[in-house]
Amino acid sequence: MIEVRPGAISANVASLVDRLAMPVMGVVKANGYGHGALVAARAMLDGGATWLGVVDIAEARALRDAGIRAPILAWLHAADADFGAAAEARIDVGVSSVRQLEAAARAGAIVHAKVDTGLGRNGVPFREWDAFVERAEELVADGLTVRGIFSHIAGSGAAFDGGQIERYRSALERASALGASVRHLGASAASLFLPASRFDLARIGIAAYGIHPEANAPGAPADGSDARALGLVPAMRMAATAHAGVVDVGFRDGLLPAIGAPVLVAGRVRRVATMAPDSLTLDEPCDGEAVLFGDPAAGEPSVDAWARAAGTIGYEVVTRMASRAPRSIA
């Protein structure tokens, strides 16, 4: 059983708004990082997020269809993306090329222009920014609204390229005539740990779900204590039943192979010995509720511990949890 705790998401967002002292965009892409897009979106807004962020227009439209009225940004588009539908549903679109900019202008969509300041994961290449802005200036004169200018910094530690904030600032300066009112750069890690990356809006995903954004950094603890130190509470708990050391969940529930991961059964930590599509076995026979990951504050293993054993990061563990597994929303 997957237990999703929207109250934890709301509390995390509220504490991040407070800590960062700036507005937050709650990122609910990838089905709300596996927690359910709509559940996560409502919880983010309850916690004080003023924007929602998703990858594509289809995800944004699903939120609108469910009655979400808050501002939404969708930032990655297939060649045939329907910007007209976005405009109609009041969904802002991130644009990463002159072609997308022109298509959005034709469709009457409001845009956030994305500049690539070094991550190399879409965005207008920095060396093409000048030409892009020139074209945007013409379209703005014809009625286009450029609401935002943004870029993406993935981490704040070893992966961080110190030139990115500087390049972003110079891109902003070049684009000043566009009249954009929302400048946004950092995701969870940069917003938390690089104050210089804070502009008008922090795009927060993983931290809102209670997972430390840099839990895989060298030397980081894998017990969730770093997230707790930031005041973050895990929003997903995965538990099942153990009979004689066999637990009735497996790969088909979305679990990654995590041999050696801790599992809490009847107050004792056991280890995953083998895994199969529909079950896993523990290193000793035991019976009772088996908690694969949950709230370390309650003595339960953390998502990070499962991720560590699986050789990945917490983001992937929760995002993969299949909708096939029974879930409860607490």
Ligand X SMILES: *Cc1c(COP(=O)(O)O)cnc(C)c1O
Residue 207 or 280 with smaller CB distance to ligand X: 207
Which residue from 35, 19, 321 is spatially nearest to 27, judged by alpha carbons? 35
Count of residues in contact with ligand X, rule CB under 6 A: 13
Residue 117 or 188 with smaller CB distance to ligand X: 188
Q: Which stretch binds ligand X (CB under 6 A): 60-68, 166-174, 187-195, 278-286?
A: 187-195
Q: What is the DSSP string of 130-155?
A: HHHHHHHHHHHHTT--EEEEEEEE--
How distant is the alpha carbon of residue 45 from its chain centre?
A: 15
Cα torsion through 61, 67, 68, 73, rounded to 10? 20
Smallest separation, CB 175 to ligand X (Å)? 18
Q: Which residue's beta carbon is nearest to the bound ligand X?
A: 205
Q: Is 183 in the site for ligand X (CB under 6 A)?
A: no
Q: Residues 103, 121, 51, CA angle at the centre, nearest 5°?
A: 65
Residue 214 or 300 with smaller CB distance to ligand X: 214
Residue 97 or 281 with smaller CB distance to ligand X: 97
Q: CB count, 10 Å around CB of 37?
A: 22
Buried-state track 106-132, b at ≥16 Cβ within 10 A, e below 16: ebebbbbbbbbbbeeebbbebeebeeb
Q: Is 75 in the site for ligand X (CB under 6 A)?
A: yes
Residue 222 or 264 with smaller CB distance to ligand X: 222
**Exactly one of 110, 206, 215, 227 binds ligand X (CB under 6 A); which one?**
206
166 contact partners, CB below 8 Å, separation of at least 6: none
Q: Is 57 in the site for ligand X (CB under 6 A)?
A: no
Q: Is 40 in the site for ligand X (CB under 6 A)?
A: no
Q: Which stretch binds ligand X (CB under 6 A): 184-192, 223-231, 268-276, 282-290?
A: 184-192
Is 105 in a helix, a strand, or coil? Answer: helix
Q: Is 27 in the site for ligand X (CB under 6 A)?
A: yes
Smallest separation, CB 250 to ligand X (Å)? 27
Give me the phi and psi of 300, to 5 degrees please: -90, 155
Q: Is 152 in the site for ligand X (CB under 6 A)?
A: yes
Q: Contact residues for ligand X (CB under 6 A)?
A: 27, 29, 75, 152, 187-189, 203-207, 213
